[in-house]
Amino acid sequence: MSHNSFGQLFKFTTWGESHGPAIGCVVDGTPPGIELSEKDIQPFMDARRPGTSRFVTQRNEPDKVQILSGVFEGKTTGTPISLLIENKDQRSKDYSEIKDRYRPGHADFTYDAKYGHRDYRGGGRSSARETANRVAAGAIARKVLGNDVSIRGCVIQIGTSMIDGDNWDWDEVPKNPFWCPDAKAAKDWETYLDETRKSGNSVGAIIEVQAKGVPAGWGAPVYGKLDSDIANGLMSINAAKGVEIGTGFASAVLTGVENADEMRLENGSPKFLSNNSGGILGGISNGDVIIARMAIKPTSSILTPVKSINSKGEELEVRTKGRHDPCVGIRAVPVAEAMIACVLADHKLRHRGQTGR
Amino acid sequence: MSHNSFGQLFKFTTWGESHGPAIGCVVDGTPPGIELSEKDIQPFMDARRPGTSRFVTQRNEPDKVQILSGVFEGKTTGTPISLLIENKDQRSKDYSEIKDRYRPGHADFTYDAKYGHRDYRGGGRSSARETANRVAAGAIARKVLGNDVSIRGCVIQIGTSMIDGDNWDWDEVPKNPFWCPDAKAAKDWETYLDETRKSGNSVGAIIEVQAKGVPAGWGAPVYGKLDSDIANGLMSINAAKGVEIGTGFASAVLTGVENADEMRLENGSPKFLSNNSGGILGGISNGDVIIARMAIKPTSSILTPVKSINSKGEELEVRTKGRHDPCVGIRAVPVAEAMIACVLADHKLRHRGQTGR
Amino acid sequence: MSHNSFGQLFKFTTWGESHGPAIGCVVDGTPPGIELSEKDIQPFMDARRPGTSRFVTQRNEPDKVQILSGVFEGKTTGTPISLLIENKDQRSKDYSEIKDRYRPGHADFTYDAKYGHRDYRGGGRSSARETANRVAAGAIARKVLGNDVSIRGCVIQIGTSMIDGDNWDWDEVPKNPFWCPDAKAAKDWETYLDETRKSGNSVGAIIEVQAKGVPAGWGAPVYGKLDSDIANGLMSINAAKGVEIGTGFASAVLTGVENADEMRLENGSPKFLSNNSGGILGGISNGDVIIARMAIKPTSSILTPVKSINSKGEELEVRTKGRHDPCVGIRAVPVAEAMIACVLADHKLRHRGQTGR
Amino acid sequence: MSHNSFGQLFKFTTWGESHGPAIGCVVDGTPPGIELSEKDIQPFMDARRPGTSRFVTQRNEPDKVQILSGVFEGKTTGTPISLLIENKDQRSKDYSEIKDRYRPGHADFTYDAKYGHRDYRGGGRSSARETANRVAAGAIARKVLGNDVSIRGCVIQIGTSMIDGDNWDWDEVPKNPFWCPDAKAAKDWETYLDETRKSGNSVGAIIEVQAKGVPAGWGAPVYGKLDSDIANGLMSINAAKGVEIGTGFASAVLTGVENADEMRLENGSPKFLSNNSGGILGGISNGDVIIARMAIKPTSSILTPVKSINSKGEELEVRTKGRHDPCVGIRAVPVAEAMIACVLADHKLRHRGQTGR
C-alpha cells in the first residue's frame, strides 16, 4: 500500500503537517556508496521554498534539511535516509477562524468526509508544504541517476499567457521569479501576476519538465509504465489537474502520419526525427528526451469571498486570509522535476534488477 | 512491484501476448458473496471486442471469457478469480515481414532495447489485445461497487472534430459505432473516419469517463490519491498520451474565482454549484460526479510508409499491413471505463479497511 | 498487497481450487533471455505430484504444466509467464458429505468465518493442490538463479523417527519414496508409515532444505531479511507449523562461544569454521550454505473419527474419507525447495537492483 | 518493496542507526479518531529500554518517544504518524577498534559484502536499537486492535533452563527482570545469567507470545497467511533463528489423532478442546488464543576472544568490549509482542477492507 509512499525500489515515504513541529521523509532503496550531504539537497530546497519573491507565499521557512540516517562518512550506506525539515513560521492563529469552514477547492471538506477529524491548521497534511519532502527526495534521486541524466522544468503558461516557443531559452529560467524560459513572457507575467494578486484572485499554470540522457529501455510494460508512473507522480502534486506526455492532448488532433516519430541512424545509432512520443513508447524510454507537462489549477486560497458551508451544516462565505501564492504553479516546478527524478531513479533500479543492465 | 499488476486491495494481474494461445488475468481481493458469472462480464467484452464495425480492426475475436476459479455456486469466494480468454484469430504470418523492423510509434524498438528479445507477433505483450483483460476485471469491479455507482464513457473528439456539448445525450452513445454522445457529430465522424481509413492514415481521440454515485471520502492523501491512481490507470492504456481530471488543462487558464466550486446545502446535504474539480479534492472524492478525460494518439499502424530502422541497424521504410483500427480511441472507451471502475473498487476497499466505513 | 502473491521483483500469483477446472500461476519479473520450456518445469512437478507411491495420496493427477505466455522461441521475454495445470481427477462426490462439516485441523471453519462462503470440494483454495503452482514457479526461479546455486531438500524426521546424521547421503534421497537421506531410516519409515496408514492415522515430519552457492550479500536489513522472507515462504506452505534457520531452536541452548561461527581465510577468501547461522547474518547471506528447516503437522484428514461441529451449529463426529497422504510432509519437500528458490531468485534481483552487482 | 517497511494496510517504516543522532519510524494507515499520545507508547518503550537491570546492556537510553505528526488534539488523523527517538548515550569511541573487524555472529561481514560501506558504530543499522521503533509501532497497533485483543509475552527458556509449565503465572512476569512466568525458574536464571556474564559468555532463549481475543476470520489464504506474516515479523527480529505456531516443531512427532483440535459447542459458540493449531487454521484465525514462539540465539557480542578476519583480509581474534546483554532474548519480549500486535492490526484492517466486517 502506498497512501503516503511513492516508488518501488527507490521509494520515499513522507509525513508531517503544515503546522506541526516538522515534516520529513524516509528515502529507502538508495544504492550504497553515493556521495551525499545536506549540501546536495539544500539548493533544490531553496529553489522551492516560500518567501523568495512577491509572487509566492510570504511564509518564511528556511527549509533547512537534516539528514538523520543512511549516510556515513559522506556516503550513502544503502539503508533508509531519514530527512527532517522543521516548521519555523507556522502562525497557527491565522487559521483558527476557518477551523470549521470548508474552503472551496481545498481538501477541508473531503478530509472531514474521509476521516471525521483533521488538523485544519494551514491545510494540515494536504498543504503544499508536504512537497518540500518531494524536492528533498528528488535531490537524492538525481544523485542515483548520476550526471548522465539531467532534469529541468519550467513554466510555459500562466493563466491565459503562454510563452512563445521560439523564445525558449533554458538559461532564462533562473533569471526570473517564474521559472520562465521566455524573457519576454516573464516580463508580461510580472504585471499579470501583480494584478491578479492585488485583485484578491489567482491563476493556474502549465509546467513542462524535460529529462535528457535517459537510455532506451527503462520502464515496464502495461502497469509499471514509465509514463503511467510519471502521470501518477505528477498528478499527486497539490493542485495538479492534468498530465500529458510528449505531444499529449494535442496528439488527439494529429493523424498517424503526422504523429509518427520516424527513425534514422546517426553514426550508427538510432535517432528519432521528431519527438511526439515524449521519449516513451509502450511504457519504455526510447532514448529521446522525456517530456511531461502538467496543469496546475489556480490557487484555491483567495481573498475574494466565495460561497461555502461549514462542518455544522451552515451556509456561509469563505475568504482565505493568510499568506498564499497567487499562482501555485510557479513553486510546483521544482516539485515536478523532483517527481520525475524519483520515477526515473526507481525505474533505473527496476530495470537493472530485472535485466542486470 | 506491479509491472503487470494494478491496484492494491482490489488488484489484478494480466498476462499474455497478442498471438499466444490465450490471454488472461487474475483478480485478487474481491469481497466474498458477490453474485458473479461469465454473463456479468461478457457484455463488456463484447463492447470492446474487435470486428464489430468497419471503423475498428477486422480481427475476429469472440473474446469469450472463462472463469477458472474464485467463484463457487454463482458467488465469489474471496479467493483469486482467474479469467481466461483464448486467442482465436492470430494469423501470425501477417507479421513475419516486420519481425526485425521497428514500427514508428510502436514499442518494437523499446522492447528490444529493454529485453533484447520479444514476441514480435502482433505487438506481443504491447498489443492492445491486453486491454480485454482490463475490461473483464472492470466488470468485476463494477460488481464490487454495486448499483449505487455507475460509470460510463464516451468519445468527445476524434481528430479535429469535437462534439457539441449542447447535444450531449448519453442515450446516443450505444446508437453509433463511435461511443459518441452527439448524434450529429457521430454522423460527421462516419465520413471523417472512412476518409482517414481509405487514405491509409489514422487519427487520435479524446475520451471522457464519468462516475456517478461515489460517496465523499474515497481516496487518500498525497500518494494514493484518487486522481493520481486514475491518472496512473488511464495512462497505462495503450496509446494514451494525456489524462485530466475535471476542468483539467483548461483550469490553467481560469482564475481562482472562476475555478472555485462553491458549496451550498440542498436538503441539508452539501452540494457543489459547479464541478471544476471533477469530483476530487485533495485526492479524495467529494461526492460529486468524477470526471476524467484522456487523449489517445492516432493508431501507429498505418498503411502509409514511414521511415524507420531495423534491428540489424539498417534504414528502411515501414508500412504496416494487417487489420488495424483507424482510430484506436474508439475501442479505448470500455477500457477507460474499466480502469476507472477498478480504481474506485480498490479505493472503496482501502477506505473501508482504514476507516471501517 | 499479496494475499495470493509471493515475492517482490521475482513474484508469482497463484489461483485455483482443488476441484475447479484448473489451477495456475502467473510468474512476473523473470529476466529476459532465459531458455525455458515445459521440460524445465515438468520434472519438479513429477516429483511433487500425487499417486507416485502408497505413502502419498492416491489422487491421480498428471500435473502437466502448460506455459501460456512470456516465453517466445524458447526464451523468456521478461513479460509475465502464465502457467496452467488442469485438474483431472477431482471426484467431487467424495466431499459432498462433509460440505457443512468442519474437519478439525482444516481451514473449513476459518474460511467460513472469514468469507461466509467457500468451495468445500477437496478443501477448495486451502488444498495442498495449490502447492503445485509453487513448484512450477520454483522451477523458473532455479533458472533465474542459474547453475551456480543448487537447492535440495529432504525429510529428516517422520513422527518420532529421526534420521542418523552420520548416515546422511544426498544420493539416497531419490532412491526412496520419502526424500530420506538415510537409507536405514528410509527402511524404518516404510513400516512406520504403513502402520500409520492402516490405523487410519497420520504423522508429522521435519524437512530440511539447503541452498549452496549463494554469494555473500543477498538479502536486506531489517524487514526484507533473507531469513524472514524464507520464514514467510515456508510458513505459507500448507500444514507448516515451524521454521528455523541454521541451528534454529537448538541455538537457544547454546552459549555465545559455542554458537560463534568463527572465520578464517582459505586461499584468501573468507571461510566460516561452522555454520550455526545457516548462512545468514543480519538478514544477509554470508556465502555459506543456507540451511532452513520446517515442521509439518500430521495430515488432518484422517479416517479415525474426531469430534467437531457443522455450519448449522450441531455437534457431530468427522471421519475424512477420500485419498490422503499419511504424512503430508513427504510431498512438501519439493514445495519447500521451490519456496527457497523463489526467495533467492527474488533477492538476487533485489540485490542487483539496489547495488548493481 | 519493503526492505525497511513492515505491513500492508497498517504499515510502518523504520530508519536510523545505533549511533546516529536519532532513530525513528513512520506508521501509516492508522484509522482516524483513535486517542493517542506519547503516554500510550512510553510504557512499552520503558519495558524494552536498556539499563534497567544488570542482566541487560548498561547503555543508558531514555528512549523518549516524540510524536511529530498524524495526531491532532489527542486523536489520530489517519495520516502518517512520525515517531522520533533520540540517541543519547552513543559512546562511539567504544567501537573504533573493531571498525574493520568482522565480529562473528554479527552482520559486519555481510553488510560489507552487500553494500561495501557501512556505519560500523554499534552495529549501525543492524543494531537491536532498531527494535525500539517496533515497540513504538506496536503500541499504536494495540490501540488499533482495541481492548478486546490482549497480547502478552514471556521468556520460557534461557539457555538450558526451561520453565515448569505447571508454575506458569502471568502475574509473575513483571515481577522479575526476565519476563519469566515461573517464579522458581526466575530465581535460577539469576544465578545462571550472573555466571554467564562473569565468564564473558552469553546464552540464547525461547520466547512465547499469546494473543487473546482475536476473532475468527482474520488472515488470508495462501500468501498473506496470519502465521506466515507472524513468522516473517518474528524472524525479522535481531538474533531470531526460529519461529513456531501452536505446538510447532513438536507437532512433527504427533499423530493426526493427537494433533486434532476437536470442536464442541459452548453456549452455542464453537469451542476448541485443545489448541495445537495455535489459533490459526489455513492461515486464518479460528478464535482461539494465538500462540507463537521464537528462538533467540545467544548474544554474539562476547568478551571471550573468537577467531575472525578483517576487511583487509587478515586473520585475527575478536573480543567485543562494550555494554552488551548476556541474553538478548530477554529484551526481545516486548519486541516480539509488538510485532504480533502489528501483524494483527494489519490483518484487522485487511479483513475489514475485503469483507466489510
CB-CB under 8 Å, D15 with A69? yes
pLDDT digits (tens, 9 = 90+) for B194-241: 999 999 999 999 999 999 999 999 999 899 999 999 999 999 999 999
What does the pLDDT read at residue A92? 56
CB-CB under 8 Å, A1 with B224? yes
Q: Does the predicted model carry a pTM greater than 0.80?
A: yes
Q: Which residues contact A333 (CB under 8 A, 6 or more apart)?
A: A153, A154, A155, A179, A207, A209
Please give, rounded to a whole number of angstroms, the shortest distance from the CA of A334 to a CA of chain B: 17
Residue A79: its chain C contacts at CB < 8 A? Answer: 221
Name which of A32, A79, A353 is nearest C9 (Cβ-Cβ).
A353
Name which of C109, C286, C329 is nearest D270 (Cβ-Cβ).
C109
Grid cell locating D69: 505528526
Grid cell locating B125: 505483450
Q: How far apart are the C-alpha atoms of D128 and D122, rounded to whole Å? A: 9
Q: What is the 3-state secondary structure (H, E, C) of chain A?
A: CCCCEECCCCEEEEEECCCCCEEEEEEECCCCCCECCHHHHHHHHHHHCCCCCCCCCCCCCCCCEEECCCEECCEECCCCEEEEEECCCCCHHHHHHHCCECCCCCCHHHHHHHHCCCCCHHHHHHCHHHHHHHHHHHHHHHHHHCCCCEEEEEEEEECCEECCHHHCCHHHHHHCCCCCCCHHHHHHHHHHHHHHHHCCCCECEEEEEEEECCCCCCECCCCCCHHHHHHHHHHCCCCEEEEEECCHHHHHHCEHHHHCCCEEEECCEEEECCCCCCCEECCEECCCCEEEEEEECCCCCCCCCEEEEECCCCEEEECCCCCCCCCHHHHHHHHHHHHHHHHHHHHHHHHHHHHCC
What does the pLDDT read at residue C54? 78
Nearest alpha carbon to residue B26 among A329, D89, C2, C122 = C2
Chain A interface, Cβ < 8 Å to C: 1, 9, 29-32, 78-79, 221, 349-350, 352-356
Q: How far apart are the C-alpha atoms of C229 and C292, rounded to whole Å? A: 12
Alpha-helical segments (H) within chain B: 38-48, 108-115, 131-145, 183-198, 226-235, 256-259, 328-355
Chain centroid offset of residue A74 CA: 27
Residue numbers in chain A where pLDDT is lower than 70: 1-2, 90-95, 322-323
Name which of A157, A240, A259 is nearest B297 (Cβ-Cβ).
A259
Closest alpha carbon within chain D to A69:
D16
Grid cell locating A354: 530485472
CB-CB under 8 Å, C240 with D242? no
Residue B72: its chain C contacts at CB < 8 A? Answer: 17, 117-119, 124
Name which of B29, B221, B354 is nearest D349 (Cβ-Cβ).
B354
Grid cell locating B233: 490507470
Q: What is the pairing mode between strands B65-67 and D11-16?
A: unpaired
Grid cell locating D127: 543494531
Contact D303, D325 (CB under 8 A): no
CB-CB under 8 Å, C241 with D245? yes
| Chain D neighbours, 3+ Cβ pairs < 8 A | A, B, C
DSSP string, D15-80: EE-TTSSEEEEEEE-PPTT-B--HHHHHHHHHHH-SSSSTTS--------EEE-SSEETTEE-SS-
Residue B9: its chain C contacts at CB < 8 A? Answer: 1
What does the pLDDT read at residue B323? 64
What does the pLDDT read at residue A301? 87
> Which residues on neighbouring strands pair with residue C158, listed in sequence order?
C161, C205
Closest alpha carbon within chain C to B119:
C72
CB-CB under 8 Å, B257 with A201? yes
Grid cell locating A315: 451556509
What does the pLDDT read at residue B61? 79
Q: How far apart are the C-alpha atoms of A136 and A145, rounded to whole Å? A: 15
CB atoms within 10 A of CB D213: 15
Name which of D1, D78, D355 is nearest B32 (Cβ-Cβ).
D355
What does the pLDDT read at residue B91? 63
What does the pLDDT read at residue A93? 64
Please give, rounded to a whole number of angstroms, the shortest distance from the CA of B196 to a CA of chain A: 8
What does the pLDDT read at residue B93? 64
Residue numbers in chain C where pLDDT is lower than 50: none
What does the pLDDT read at residue A94? 61
Closest alpha carbon within chain D to C330:
D252
What does the pLDDT read at residue D23? 97
pLDDT band at residue B86, thresholds of 50, 70 and 90? Answer: very high
Nearest alpha carbon to residue A143 among A278, A43, A286 = A43
Residue A221: its chain C contacts at CB < 8 A? Answer: 79
Name which of D126, D201, D249 is nearest C256 (Cβ-Cβ).
D201
Contact B161, B189 (CB under 8 A): yes
This complex has an ipTM of 0.96
pLDDT digits (tens, 9 = 90+) for B92-141: 566 677 789 999 999 999 999 999 989 999 889 999 999 999 999 999 99
Nearest alpha carbon to residue C259 among A319, D241, A24 = D241
CB-CB under 8 Å, B221 with D355? no
CB-CB under 8 Å, D4 with A26? yes
CB atoms within 10 A of CB C321: 11
CB-CB under 8 Å, D223 with C243? no
pLDDT digits (tens, 9 = 90+) for B244-283: 999 999 999 999 999 999 999 999 999 999 999 999 999 9
- Per run of 10 residues, the mean pLDDT along chain D (length 357 residues) is 88 96 97 98 89 75 93 97 91 70 94 94 91 97 98 97 97 96 97 93 97 97 95 97 98 95 95 98 98 96 93 92 82 97 98 96
What does the pLDDT read at residue B4? 96
> Which residues on neighbouring strands pair with residue A266, listed in sequence order?
A269
What does the pLDDT read at residue C89? 77
> Phi, psi (5° rounding) for residue A211?
-120, 120
Among C223, C290, C293, C311, the strongest candidate for a mutation testing the D interface, having the largest count of D CBs within 10 A, is: C223
Q: How far apart are the C-alpha atoms of B348 and B226, rounded to whole Å? A: 11
Name which of B13, B76, B119 is nearest C72 (Cβ-Cβ).
B119
CB atoms within 10 A of CB A160: 12
pLDDT band at residue B52, thresholds of 50, 70 and 90? Answer: confident
Q: Which residue has the cell 522543521?
A: A86
Q: How far apart are the C-alpha atoms of A346 and A341, rounded to whole Å? A: 9
